């Protein structure tokens, strides 16, 4: 169980049906869904993390974590969209992190820091070796993100031996299609904050983005090998946790 305070925020593991309901309601709001709650079959299998304003109890951030082995990858959320057989030989525990969202009305960078502290605490407690998930860009139009995708192609593609293959029917094969040199300033400005943090830790991505019209996003499979995170970054994350 995760439970700690940092500044004005409390990070904890969801422990009641009411906690899960609150997480699902925040997700529906953040993802702009035409329903009160964002619910899927994975919720029952996941550990849900809540970040709250301690003074008010207001939920400001949530995400969920699903622990898997290589043999269980086909049961992950990402496996619906990516062919992940290359990762089945990965040795060690894996955790799929998903449904990450922060209240869109808030612009407090401490929320993301506390979220990463909670993830770090979970990874260390469970001896996780690979953290992965789907990193989402808002909307399904690629034009605004071409520099970001070009940067991913140039610097952050998955190693060939782990590279996810195409499975979804609607994808943008940015690694094959883009020939432009990225404008790094524009690329970082359009890069989702969560993905930006993954990349700072040495994370890598698939060579294509899935066009998810149901969630109104473009997303790339993203992996972070814990052993490859730079030592300075590890020390910073553990200091937060």
* Whether pLDDT at 224 is above 80: yes
pLDDT band at residue 107 using 50, 70 and 90 as cut-offs: confident
Residue 218, in any domain of the structure = yes
Q: Which long-range contacts (CB under 8 A, 24 or more apart) does 69-75 make?
A: 69/93, 69/94, 70/94
In terms of Cβ atoms closer than 10 Å to its own Cβ (0-12, 13-18, 19+), residue 143 is exposed
Structure-derived torsion over alpha carbons of residues 70, 122, 42, 130, reported in degrees to the nearest 10: -30
Residue 27 domain-assigned (yes or no)? no
pLDDT of residue 42: 97
**What SS3 state is found at 68?**
strand
pLDDT in tens, 143-179: 999 999 999 999 999 999 999 999 999 999 999 999 9
Q: What is the mean pLDDT of the chain?
A: 94
Task: State the residue for tokens 């500044």.
Answer: 7
* Residue 172 Cα distances to 176, 189, 219, angstroms: 9, 20, 10
Would you say residue 109 has pLDDT above 90?
no
pLDDT digits (tens, 9 = 90+) for 175-186: 999 999 999 999
Question: Is 44 within a domain?
Answer: no
pLDDT per residue over 7-51, tens digit each? 899 999 999 999 999 999 999 999 999 999 999 999 999 999 999
Does the pLDDT value for residue 5 go beyond 90? Answer: no
Give the pLDDT of residue 233: 84
**This model's pTM is above 0.75:** yes
Domain hosting 111: range is 65-240
- Does residue 5 belong to any structural domain of this protein? no
> Does residue 126 surpass a pLDDT of 70?
yes
Instruction: Examine residue 80 and state whether it is found in any structural domain, yes or no.
Output: yes
Question: DSSP state, 86?
Answer: G
- Per-residue model confidence (pLDDT) at position 3: 86
> Is residue 75 domain-resident?
yes
Q: How confident is the model at residue 241 (pLDDT cuts 50, 70, 90)?
A: low
Average of per-residue pLDDT across 182-197: 95
3-state class (DSSP) for residue 84? coil
Alpha helices in the chain (DSSP H): 17-30, 109-125, 146-155, 174-177, 184-190, 193-200, 231-240
Residue 239 buriedness (CB in 10 A; 0-12 / 13-18 / 19+): exposed
Are 55 and 83 in contact, with CB atoms under 8 Å apart?
Answer: no
pLDDT band at 208 (very low <50, low <70, confident <90, very high): very high
Residue 194 has pLDDT above 80, yes or no: yes
CA 50/CA 65 separation, integer angstroms: 11
> Does 194 map to a domain?
yes
What's the Cα-to-Cα distance from 146 to each of 138, 156, 177, 203, 208, rounded to whole Å? 13, 15, 10, 19, 12
What is residue 232's predicted lDDT score, i.e. its pLDDT? 86
Provide the number of structural domains found in the chain: 1
Q: pLDDT tens across 43-78, in order?
A: 999 999 999 999 999 999 999 999 999 999 999 999
Spatial contact of 180 and 146, defined as CB atoms under 8 Å apart: yes
In a domain, 209, yes or no: yes
């Amino acid at each position: 169980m995760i439970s700690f305070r940092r500044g004005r925020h409390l990070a904890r593991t969801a422990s009641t049906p009411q906690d899960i309901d609150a997480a699902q309601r925040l997700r529906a709001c953040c993802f702009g869904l035409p329903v009160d709650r964002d619910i899927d079959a994975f919720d029952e299998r996941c550990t849900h993390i809540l970040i709250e304003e301690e003074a008010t109890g207001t939920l400001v951030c949530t995400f969920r974590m699903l622990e898997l082995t290589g043999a269980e990858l086909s049961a992950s959320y990402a496996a619906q969209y990516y062919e992940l057989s290359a990762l089945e030989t990965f040795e060690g525990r894996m955790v799929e992190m998903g449904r990450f969202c922060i209240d869109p009305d808030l612009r407090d960078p401490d929320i993301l820091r506390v979220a990463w502290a909670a993830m770090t605490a979970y990874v260390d407690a469970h001896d996780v070796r690979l953290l992965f998930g789907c990193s989402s860009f808002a909307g399904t139009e690629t034009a605004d993100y071409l520099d970001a995708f070009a940067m991913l192609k140039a610097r952050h593609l998955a190693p060939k031996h782990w590279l996810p293959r195409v499975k979804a029917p609607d994808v943008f094969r940015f690694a094959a299609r883009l020939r432009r040199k990225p404008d790094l300033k524009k690329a970082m400005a359009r890069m989702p904050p969560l993905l930006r943090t993954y990349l700072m830790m040495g994370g890598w991505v698939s060579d294509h983005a899935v066009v998810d019209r149901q969630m109104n996003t473009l997303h790339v499979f993203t992996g972070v090998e814990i052993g490859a995170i730079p030592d300075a970054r590890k020390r910073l994350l553990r200091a937060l946790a």
